[in-house]
Structure 1
Amino acid sequence: MNLEPMFLKLDRIAGGRGVGYTIPEEMRIHPTTRAAFVAITWLLVAEFVLGIIAVIIAIVLQLNGTDVRFSVWMRGLVVLAMTATLFYFAWRAQKGYYWAYSRLKLFSKIFPIVTLVLAAIPGLYPLWMVTEQILFSLILIGVSDYLSSDHMRAAFPKPPKRVDAE
């Protein structure tokens, strides 16, 4: 079953006007580009596992009589949803879509800041959740570092400015 038409519609929502712009094939298949995406994928897997562990800890605590705050449940679910979105962006970026690369790069820079600010709010999360947030941020900073390397910036040049016909 060919799902690519459905993904292209989803890409249009996520990517906006520049959704069709892709990088040159030789840069997409370049060994350094491929190695960067392998590393990014493994970092996102670690992120997903971390999110699953956080939800499991919350479940175990709740089942053992500890009151688990709503903020902990929301954080756990949001991490899983964010990571799924980042996986999608990484997958589409591997296919050469500039929009996906730029979204992945942007979110891998913004999410750690938001996460660390939330972790710094006294009493919002228990210590184990604060630790999870710090690890989450460190992993995403790693993703951002790969995406910001000289090679990746060269592999994913910004699309040329669009000239609208009058």
Structure 2
Amino acid sequence: MTTTRTGPAVFRPVLLVTGGYATLSVLTLLVIVLFRNDHAMVTDAVWVRATLVVASSLLTLAFARSAARGSRKGLLRLRIVSAVMLVAIVVIVALPGLFPLWLRIEQAVCGLLLLGVTVLVNGRRARAR
């Protein structure tokens, strides 16, 4: 098995996707801060959701790094968190009126990233590791 500085090569795509998810989540929170005075764009629900997503995305990235270093617990945590967050995102995107359209679109992108993580960490190569 080929290894890299961050662990086995099988986890390289997982690390890239979870890194992208964390980056998008942090950038979204920065946009919210910039547009905080636009109450149509940034509601209280947007603040809460974005803060939770940043926290979960950083945890997801930490679990991916742990799994890449060979931690079984890290892999299990990554599997659970990515699946749970994916389900939560599907609900948020599907519910009309709860969040502004721009945040639902951002969450859909996050959901696609998490779908990729979920598929990768539950695949045969990751499980064999």
User: What range is the shorter-chain TM-score in?
Assistant: 0.7 to 0.9
Task: Establish whether residue 134 from structure 1 lines up as the match of residue 108 from structure 2.
Answer: yes
**Inter-partner Cα distance in structure 2 for 1:41 and 1:96:** 13
**Are the counterparts in 1 of residues 15 and 64 from structure 2 also a CA contact under 8 Å?**
yes
**Inter-partner Cα distance in structure 1 for 2:57 and 2:109:** 14
The worse-fitting range, judged by mean Cα deviation, of 119-128 and 87-96 is: 87-96
**Inter-partner Cα distance in structure 2 for 1:147 and 1:45:** 15
Runs of 4+ in 1 over 3 A off after TM superposition: none
Which AA in structure 1 matches 2:65? W
Task: Establish whether residue 66 from structure 1 lines up as the match of residue 51 from structure 2.
Answer: no
**Inter-partner Cα distance in structure 1 for 2:26 and 2:66:** 24
Q: Unpaired segments of 5 or more residues in structure 2?
A: none
**Inter-partner Cα distance in structure 2 for 1:36 and 1:132:** 27
Equivalence map 1:17-166=2 (5 Å) = 30-31=1-2, 34-63=8-37, 65-67=38-40, 68-155=42-129
The worse-fitting range, judged by mean Cα deviation, of 122-131 and 65-74 is: 65-74
Secondary structure of 2:35's counterpart equals: helix
Q: TM-score if structure 1 supplies the norm length?
A: 0.69
**Inter-partner Cα distance in structure 2 for 1:45 and 1:91:** 10
| Structure of higher CA gyration radius | 1
1:23 matched to which residue of 2? Answer: none
**What's the RMSD between the two structures over aligned residues?**
1.7
Which AA in structure 2 matches 1:59? V
**Are the counterparts in 1 of residues 22 and 61 from structure 2 also a CA contact under 8 Å?**
no
**Inter-partner Cα distance in structure 2 for 1:98 and 1:49:** 25
